[in-house]
Structure 1
C-alpha cells in the first residue's frame, strides 16, 4: 500500500502537536492496523457514471439470465398442476423423489462450478451453464416415464448448481459492499418475477390444444429454447470483468478499481490461489453462515416449488391456480427491491433479515391457525409468506460478500454456502405430503420452525459483529475515512486477506 496518501480523518487517535505525519510513520501505523488511509480521489461525477453504466448494462442482462434459470428450475411445479404426474404414470411420492434427487448434483457440484467461474470468468461459465440446463429442459418435454424425467432433472441440477453463486461473485467485482445489496436485490427480483411470469406462461401454454404432446411439454420447450437463445446473446455482450468492460472509459475503470480496493476486495484481477480459496474453512463464521443459509432457504424453497400447490388450497381449477400465484410474486418483488435498497441505505444486513423473516413467520402462523375454508385469510397469509421469504436470499448473499474481502475465498465460500442452503430442498421436497393437501400442515409447521430459528441466528450473529467492531475500535482506535460520496467507512480492504485483520470492520 502506498504510504504517501494523506489521512482524511482519525477518531480516538492520540493528539499530536504537529499536523503532519511522515511517510515512514504512516506506513508503520497502517501496517499495524492503527490508522486508515483515504481511498484515491476520483471525481464524483465519474463514479456516478461508472455506477449508472454498470446498473443499466449489467443488471438487466443478469436479471434476464436469472429469470430464465428460475423458470427452468421451477417449471416442474407448474407442470404438476397440468397433470404431469398422471401423464407420466408417477405413483406415490415419485414427484417428491424427483425434487429431492435434483438437489444431489445441485449441492455436490456447486463449489466446483464457482471455482470454474473464478478461473474462466462468469462470461463463459454462466452462459455455458445456460446452454446445458436449457437444453435438458427442452429434453424434459419428451420424457415418457419416471426414469427419463429423473435423468433430465439430474442433469439440470448439475448445470444449475453454480449459477446463482457465480452471478453473486461476478456482481461483487463491479459493486462494493456499500451498494451491492440493492443491486443483488434488483437481480433477485427477476426470480420473483419468474414466479409470476411462470404462472402466466403456464396459464397461456396450458390453453394449447394439441394431441401430439402434453400441454406441460410445450412449457418446457418454450422456456428451454428461450434459455439457450439468450445464453448465446449474453455471451456476446457481457464483459469478463470490470477492467475489460467495453462500455466503461479508462477513467471509469480506474474509479471502479479504486472503489473495489477501498470498499470491497483485497485486490482486483488477482490470480487464483487454492490456499486463499479454502482459508475460510478454518473460520467458525463459515459454519454459522451455513446454518443461517439453510434456515432461511426452507421458506424460500417452499415458495419456489410449492406456491402453486399451496394456492390450490383456495379450491380453484388449474388455470386460476397458476394465475393466482402472480399477485403474491409481484408484491414480493417490489418488497424485495425496497428492502435491499433500505439495507444499503443504512449499511445494515442482520436486522433487515430479521424483519423480513418476521413477515414470513406471521404468514405461517396464520396459515396454521385458520380454517382451510377461510379463503381470504389464506390468500393474505400466502402473500405474507411469499413477501417475507424472497428478500432474505439477496440480503444474506450481500451480507456474506460484504464480509469476505478476498476474491478467492469469496468464490469458494459463496459457492459452498448457496448449495448448502439448497440442502433445504431435500427437506422441503418431503414435507409437502400429498395426503395432507391442500392444507399441508406438516410443511407449515416446519417452515415456521425454521423461520423462527433463522431470526434467532441472524439477530445473534449481527449483534456479535457489532460487539466485535466496538472491541477493535477500543484496541486500535476508531478510524474513519471518507469515500467519494462523502460517506464514512471504517475499514479498508486493499491488502486485507481475511476478516481477522484488525483493520477490518464487519458490516452487521
Structure 2
C-alpha cells in the first residue's frame, strides 16, 4: 500500500477535506490503494453538525410515526382487558385468530410495498401507510362482530407491512454504517414507549364514566384519529433524500452524499432492479440472518401482544394490570438505547445481539420457574422487566447488522422487507402459544419462548464467530489487517465475492 497516494488537487490521504470544498469529495472516495483514511476524510466537526441536523429534523418525526404504528398494532390487548371480546360475542380462540390474521398480509405485502417505497421514496410512502393504518384503527371502533374486526385486522396488517423496513432503509440513506444502530434505537424505542404509553392511555380512557359506548371503542377512536392527523404532517415534512432536504446547504448536501457513498451504499439512490436485488439469496449468511429473525420474532411478539396477560397473572385488577405494564416497557426502551449506543461505540453487533437473546431466555425462565406467583410478586415482576430488555435490543441490532454488511441498496431493502416481517410473522406462533386454557401462568408458552431465545443466542454467536474467522482468513490472504469500516462501500457492491470485503461484526 502506498504511503502517501495523491488525491484530487494534489492532496494526500492524511489531508482533510473540509465542508467548504464539496467539489473535492466526489473524486476522493475511490482513490486506488487508499484504505485506512478513505472513509474518514471529511471534517469531523462538519459531520457532527450534519448528523445533529438529521437527528433533530428526522428522528423525532420517525419515532412519533413508529409510536403510533405500535399503538395501532398493539391496542387489541388493552381493548380485550376492557371487555371487547365479550361485547363482540367472541367464541373460544377467536381472539387468538384475530391476532394471527394480522401477520399474514403483514408478511405477504411487505416486499412489494417496500419496493414501491424504494421507487417513490420512503418519505412519501411511509405517511401514506400511516394514514391507512390510522384509518383502519378508527374503523375498528365501529366493528360489531368478529367478522368485521377480522377484516379490519387484515387491512391493518397490509398497511403496516412495509413500515419498519422502509424506515430502516430511509435512515441508511442519511447515516453511516457505524452511526445507524443508535439512531434506529432511538426510533425503535418509540415502540417500547408506545407499549408503555398504551397502558397509560388505556388507564385514562377506561376511567370514562357514563358513556353510551364501551370505553374500548374510544381507545380505537383516539389513537386512530391522532395517527391520521400526524400522517398528513409527515407527508409534507419529510425530505425525499438529503439532496432534497431544504434544511441543508449545498455544501452539506455534498457532504451527505459523500458520507453515504463511502460508508453505506455502493451507489447512492440506485434504481431498484429486482434481478440484482434477489442475488442476496446467493449468500448462505442471508438464511442464517432470517433464522435469527425467526428466533427473535417469537419472544418479541409474545411480549408485545401478551404483556398485559403476563402481568395480569400477578393477580392485579384490570386497571392496575394496564398500569403495571408501563415500567417494564420503559425499562426495555432504556436497555435498548444502552446496548445500541454501546454497539455503535465499539463498532460491534453480534455480542450485543447474543446478550439480548440471553436476557430474553433468562426472563421467561425465571417467570416459568416460580410455582407460586402471587407469593413471589417481586421476582415475577422483575422477570417481566428482563423479558422487555431481551426483546428490544436484538430487533434493532439484527436489522442494523445485516444492513451494515450489504452495500447494494436494492438487496438491502429486499432483505429487510423479508427479515423484519418474518420476525413479525412469528406473532402467529406467539398468539397460539398463549392459549386461554393455560392462563394465568401460560407455562407451555413461557418455556417455548425461552427456547427460541436460547436458539437465537446460539445462531447469532455462531454467525459472529464465522464472520470473525472469515475476516482473519481474508487478512492473511492479503497480508494486511483491514476493518470493515475502513473500506468504502462504493467498492463493495458485490458483497463477500469482492476481494476487499470485510464483515461488519
Fold shared, TM-score > 0.5 on shorter chain: yes
**1:57-111 CA distances to partner (integer Å, 9 max, x unpaired)?**
1110000000000000000011011111101000110000011111110011111
Q: Is contact 1:493-1:504 (8 Å) kept?
A: no
The Cα shift of 1:4 comes to 4.4
Alpha-carbon distance between aligned partners in 2 of 1:331 and 1:120, rounded to the nearest angstrom: 37
CA contact (8 A) 2:129 2:163 kept: yes
Q: Deviations over 1:110-142 (max 9, x none)?
A: 111111110010111100001111000000011
- Residue in structure 2 matching 1:494, options 474, 490, 497: 490
Is the 2:35–2:487 contact (alpha carbons within 8 Å) kept by the matching residues of 1? no
Partner SS for 1:502: coil
Q: Answer whether contact 2:348 2:504 (CA < 8 A) is retained.
A: yes
Deviation at 1:492, TM superposition (A): 1.7
1:370 aligns with: 370
| Structure with higher helix content | 2
Worse overlay, 472-481 or 427-436? 472-481
Deviation at 1:474, TM superposition (A): 1.4
The reply to whether residue 336 of structure 1 matches residue 333 of structure 2 is no
The offset of 1:245, in angstroms, is: 1.2
In the other structure, the counterpart of 2:457 is: 455
> What is the alpha-carbon distance in structure 2 between the residues aligned to residue 246 and residue 288 of structure 1?
41
Counterpart mapping for 1:291-302 below 5 A: 291-302=291-302
Contact 1:265 1:494 in 2 (8 A): yes
For 1:164-202, what per-residue CA distance to the aligned partner results, in whole angstroms no more than 9, with x for missing partners?
000000011101111100000000100000011000000
**Is residue 293–residue 419 contact of structure 2 (8 Å, CA) maintained in 1?**
yes
1:503 positional shift: 1.3
Number of the residue aligned with 1:226: 226
TM superposition shift of 1:478:
2.8
Offset at residue 8 of structure 1 (A) = 4.1
Q: CA deviation at 1:35?
A: 5.8
Which residue pairs with 2:254 in the alignment? 254
Report if aligned partners of 1:200, 1:323 keep a CA contact under 8 Å in 2: yes
Shift of 1:407: 0.6
What is the aligned partner in structure 1 of residue 206 from structure 2?
A: 206
Residues 296, 452 of structure 2: 8 Å contact kept: yes
* Alignment CA distance shift 1:3-1:305 (3 Å): farther
Aligned to 1:505: 502
Q: Per-residue deviation at 1:406?
A: 0.7
- 8 Å contact kept, 1:7–1:36: no
> Which residue of structure 2 aligns with residue 432 of structure 1?
434
Q: Which runs of no fewer than 5 residues in structure 1 stay unpaired?
A: 10-22, 482-487
Contact kept in structure 2, 1:301 and 1:428, CA below 8 Å = yes
Q: State the partner residue of 1:474.
A: 476
Equivalents in 2 of 1:170, 1:415: separation in Å?
Answer: 12
1:387 maps to: 389
Partner of 2:448: 446
Measured in 1, the distance between the counterparts of 2:40 and 2:57 equals 25
Report what 1:57 is aligned to. Answer: 57
* Number of aligned residues: 482
Query: Does the C-alpha gap of structure 1 residues 339 and 388 become closer, same or farther in structure 2, counting only changes over 3 Å?
Result: same
Distance change >3 Å, CA 346–CA 147, structure 1 → 2:
same
2:162 maps to 162
- 1:346-365 equivalences under 5 Å are 346-365=346-365
Partner of 2:217: 217
Aligned to 2:89: 89
Distance 1:275 1:314 in 2: 52
Give 1:502 deviation, angstroms.
1.7
Query: Residues 42-53 of structure 1 correspond to what in structure 2 (within 5 A)?
Result: 42-53=42-53
Write out per-residue CA displacement over residues 424-446 of structure 1, whole angstroms, 9 at most, x where no aligned residue.
Answer: 11100100011111100011011
- Answer yes or no: is the 8 Å Cα contact 2:298–2:452 preserved in 1: yes
What RMSD in Å do the two structures reach over aligned CA positions? 1.9
Question: Mind listing any 5+ residue stretches in structure 2 that lack a counterpart?
Answer: 15-26
Conserved? CA contact 1:40–1:258, under 8 Å = no
Alpha-carbon distance, 1:496 to partner: 2.0
SS in 2 for 1:404: coil
Aligned partners of 1:82, 1:417: CA distance in 2, in Å?
Answer: 34
Instruction: Report the equivalent of 2:119.
Output: 119
SS at 2:432's partner residue? coil
- C-alpha distance in structure 2 between counterparts of 1:93 and 1:468, whole Å: 48
Indicate if the aligned counterparts of 2:35 and 2:486 stay in contact, CA closer than 8 A.
no
Q: Secondary structure at the match of 1:471?
A: helix
